[in-house]
Amino acid sequence: MNINVSEAIKAKRERLHMTQKELADAVGLPKFGDRTIRRWENGEASPSGAELKAILDFPETVPFPNDENARYRMIDLFAGIGGTRLGFYQTGAVNIVFSSEWDKFAQKTYHANYGEMPAGDITQIDEKNIPDHDILVGGFPCVAFSQAGLKKGFGDTRGTLFFDIARIIKEKRPKAFLLENVKNLVGHDKGRTFATIRKTLEDMDYEVYHQVFPAKDFGVPQNRERIYIVGFDKNQVKNYQDFEYPVPPKTPTRVGDILEKNVDDKYTLSDKLWQGHQRRKIDNAAAGKGFGYGLFNEDSPYTNTISARYYKDGSEILIEQKGKNPRKITPREASRLQGFPNDFIIPVSDTQAYKQFGNSVAVPVIHAIAENIIKILDANTSN
């Protein structure tokens, strides 16, 4: 093997800050592709021309660079892989001045796409050290809310990750915010959790709106329902009452529109795995549980919700295949299910990619809401 090819592959991988497993998955090598990359780098085997081109052409340029001249400064909390950031980026109106995400693999994907390495654990960051900003966004996890209901307001949120959003809002006074969460947040703890969140925000003099939207109503073929909480500082935004949520276009969706062609056999379920899936679904149905795989084809209008546990539980979205067992969706298909553009870079292993897209947001929904938030802020500025 030409030593220059061997060195070129290794140099490329190191520039991308990828492991051999990550690079193998990113360029679509078959199962055990990391071993293949290792052999190529060691000069023990040679890639085909197409394989070498796929590696050397893997993008190194950030596809979604920050616009430091944009008119609104924004911070991105619990950022994940930046799906909310991307929805706002598409408006052309925001300059991201701070981001926070603790997961090192999500940080890697974030850095590859935006050219910025997020700060780590937000619970360890002093709100006074966060840059001033106009818009705050965050998809905070809903965990461990106090049972005390509305007794203590702001104090009720201590010990939860929502508290970190609240303390930053209290200190920095953004003009607007967008928070995203599971739709069950409204009914959590008989409504007390959401009432506490709402009261906490309203006590800081914010007008608070909330709406549940399914992603499929915004053009992506996935039945993902989420709550979107929008707020405006009543003292800084005089026209806050003019805010309206977008009207979902309800464009017909089709799973075939997000499917890749010529998918590698590594995504096809083995006989043993497929039998296990079928057995668990029957057992769950008998036990009165709805958990189990969903089987879809290109003509299905939409899939069920992709989960952050897609890569390790039985609620898989599976794609029918003629003449063989069904297959898992690919990471690129997972990204499309969330409305990410095709130039979004996936620099991690398949396992991490499933987790990241399952944890992320439906970008078209965020973008539509972002446009309406920007519209209010623009009108407020021109008054």
What are the residue boundaries of the structural domains of the chain, listed by start? 3-56, 72-251+362-382, 255-359
Name the band, by pLDDT with cuts 50, 70 and 90, for residue 148: very low
Residue 134: is its pLDDT beyond 50?
yes
Q: Which residues pair with 98 in a beta bridge?
A: 75
Q: Is a pLDDT exceeding 60 seen at residue 50?
A: yes
Residue 147 has pLDDT above 70, yes or no: no
Domain 3-56 class, CATH top level: mainly alpha
DSSP string, 235-250: TT-TTGGG--PPPP--
List 81, 96, 142, 317, catalytic entry: 142
Instruction: Please tell me whether residue 368 adopts helix, strand or coil conformation.
Output: helix
Answer whether residue 377 shows pLDDT above 60: yes
Rounded to an integer, what distance in angstroms lies between the CA atom of residue 8 and that of residue 372?
47
Q: What is the pLDDT of residue 279?
A: 87
Instruction: Write down the pLDDT at residue 141.
Output: 74
Percent of the chain with pLDDT over 70: 92
Judge whether 188 counts as a catalytic residue. Answer: no
Q: Are 259 and 221 in contact (CB under 8 A)?
A: no
CA dist 103 → 79, 110, 112, 119, 352 (Å): 10, 10, 14, 10, 11
Tokens of 207: 């007008």
**Pair of tokens at residue 164:** 């970190």
Q: What would the pLDDT profile of 183-217 be if each residue is shown by its tens digit?
A: 888 887 788 888 888 999 999 999 999 999 999 99
Mean pLDDT within 335-351: 96
Mean pLDDT of the chain: 90
Q: How confident is the model at residue 36, as a pLDDT?
A: 96
Please check the confidence at residue 151 and state whether its pLDDT lies above 60: no
Please report which confidence band the pLDDT of residue 37 belongs to, taking 50, 70 and 90 as the band edges. Answer: very high
CATH 3.40.50.12780 is the classification of domain 72-251+362-382: no
Question: Nearest to residue 168, comparing CAs of 216, 196, 136, 194?
Answer: 136
At 111 the pLDDT is 95
Which of 235, 236, 141 is CA-nearest to residue 180? Answer: 141
The pLDDT of residue 287: 79
Is the separation of the CB atoms in 77 and 100 below 8 Å? yes
pLDDT tens, residue by residue, 240-258? 999 999 999 999 999 999 9
**Alpha helices of 103-191 — where are they, by DSSP H?**
104-114, 161-172
- Lowest mean pLDDT, pick from 9-18, 184-193, 210-219, 340-349: 184-193
C-alpha span between 359 and 381 (Å, rounded) = 34
The identity of residue 383, as a single letter, is: N
pLDDT, tens digit, 9 for 90 and up, residues 165-182: 999 999 999 999 999 988
Q: What is the pTM of this model?
A: 0.91
CATH value of 255-359 in 3.90.1150.10, 3.40.50.10860, 3.20.10.10, 3.90.120.10: 3.90.120.10
pLDDT of 349 strictly over 80: yes
CA 308 – CA 315 distance, rounded (Å): 11
How do residues 281-330 score in pLDDT, each as one tens digit? 888 778 777 667 889 999 999 999 888 777 565 568 999 999 999 999 99
